[in-house]
Amino acid sequence: MTSSIPVTLIPGDGIGPEIVDATVAVLDALGAPFAWDRQVAGLEGVTTAGDPLPKQTLDSIRRTRLALKGPLETPSGGGYRSSNVRLREEFQLYANMRPAKTIIHGGRYDNIDLVVVRENLEGLYIGHEHYIPIDGDPHAVAMATGVNTRQGSRRLLEYAFDLAVATGRKKVTIVHKANIMKALTGIFLETGLEIYESKYKGKFEIDTVIVDACAMKLVLNPWQFDMLVTTNLFGDILSDLVAGLIGGLGMAPGANIGKDAAIFEAVHGSAPDIAGKGLANPIAILLAAAMMLDHCKLHDMATQLRTAIDETVSLDNVKTGDLGGNASTKDFTNSLIRRINANRR
């Protein structure tokens, strides 16, 4: 086995270092050929390098084009912009892919297998906002500008459609609000239908739904969906909803894919309420690591990892507190490594 895929490793803040250490130990047990380049960002970046996104960290990702990242806190005060948004912009990470697959069976929603693909750089999320003062009230009027481009919509939709074909998805649903935001989300809908007709027709079924109806349908009958593709803000909201269908944020991984790099992470944040207590569930970032293995074409290892996570939870019944168990992060990690080793024999 070559040990030759360089990856930038950012432990991050709060529970980040605990779950990232667990992930590195599990990937070592799998024999994954990653050469880690440890870097800092977020609050840790400010404390140790005076910047939430130090140049050295950016240089490392520029070199490796691949990163596994713990959650980052944006320091309040000091006028810092979110490190996550800056990373997306810096490396043009235009696609955010969030798969949701049931691991813990017997819950309110069983056998969920859904992917949300979210545009990651445009829309109302770009943060072009301002206030208009009136009569001494500096915040009398608040305004925000959303920007969606044909080119930005096209590259995201093509990424999603190619992914649907490559992973055998049967149906792709474009989520929009073109009945009201006719220009802003209409351009995304129009581009999606156009590309489908010209390049993807017959490869999968296409469907469209308005975002509010989509939220209701996801709660009533999520099995009617296979892949959802949508603009930035709608994707942000719906992917958390979808994470809720499979047991919450502790189970939800995400990949940020772009022209210049790919960054893998858990969807959840730094969970300051449980940080340092050894209680964090590492499954979300472990599943993100499985996505990174797939990205590196190490599909067998990705499958071994997903199977072992499944078996540790369902057969060995080892679960952290957020899933109703009493295992610590270390207990879960050790059980998972035992499973990986046992499955190899």
> Are the C-beta atoms of 84 and 53 separated by less than 8 Å?
no
Please give the helix or strand (H or E) that residue 262 lies within, else none. strand 262-266
Smallest separation (angstroms) from ligand NAD to the CB of 111: 23
| Residue 31 or 276 having the CB closest to ligand NAD | 276
Smallest separation (angstroms) from ligand NAD to the CB of 95: 16
For 52, the 3-state DSSP assignment is coil
| Residue 135 or 273 having the CB closest to ligand NAD | 273
What CA–CA distance (Å, rounded) separates 312 from 278?
18
What CA–CA distance (Å, rounded) separates 327 from 144?
45
What CA–CA distance (Å, rounded) separates 310 from 98?
18
Return the residue matching tokens 């939800």. Answer: 252
Please give the helix or strand (H or E) that residue 249 lies within, else none. none
Smallest separation (angstroms) from ligand NAD to the CB of 69: 7
Measured between alpha carbons, how far apart are the two ends of the chain, in Å? 18
| Residue 123 or 192 having the CB closest to ligand NAD | 123
Cβ count near 277 (within 10 Å) = 13
Smallest separation (angstroms) from ligand NAD to the CB of 20: 11
| Residue 173 or 335 having the CB closest to ligand NAD | 335
What CA–CA distance (Å, rounded) separates 161 from 295?
17
> Are the C-beta atoms of 93 and 119 separated by less than 8 Å?
no
Smallest separation (angstroms) from ligand NAD to the CB of 43: 8
DSSP string, 104-129: STTSSS-S-EEEEEEE-SSEEEEEEE
Show the DSSP H helices in the chain as ranges. Answer: 16-30, 42-49, 55-64, 83-90, 150-166, 186-195, 211-220, 232-245, 283-295, 299-314, 329-344
What CA–CA distance (Å, rounded) separates 303 from 239?
23
> Are the C-beta atoms of 96 and 234 separated by less than 8 Å?
no
Smallest separation (angstroms) from ligand NAD to the CB of 39: 14
What CA–CA distance (Å, rounded) separates 226 from 88?
26
Smallest separation (angstroms) from ligand NAD to the CB of 141: 27
Closest residue to ligand NAD, based on beta-carbon distance? 269
Smallest separation (angstroms) from ligand NAD to the CB of 289: 14
| Residue 98 or 155 having the CB closest to ligand NAD | 98
Residues near ligand NAD, by CB under 6 A: 15, 71-74, 84, 249-250, 265, 268-274, 280-281, 284, 322
| Residue 190 or 310 having the CB closest to ligand NAD | 310
Smallest separation (angstroms) from ligand NAD to the CB of 26: 15
> Are the C-beta atoms of 247 and 281 separated by less than 8 Å?
no
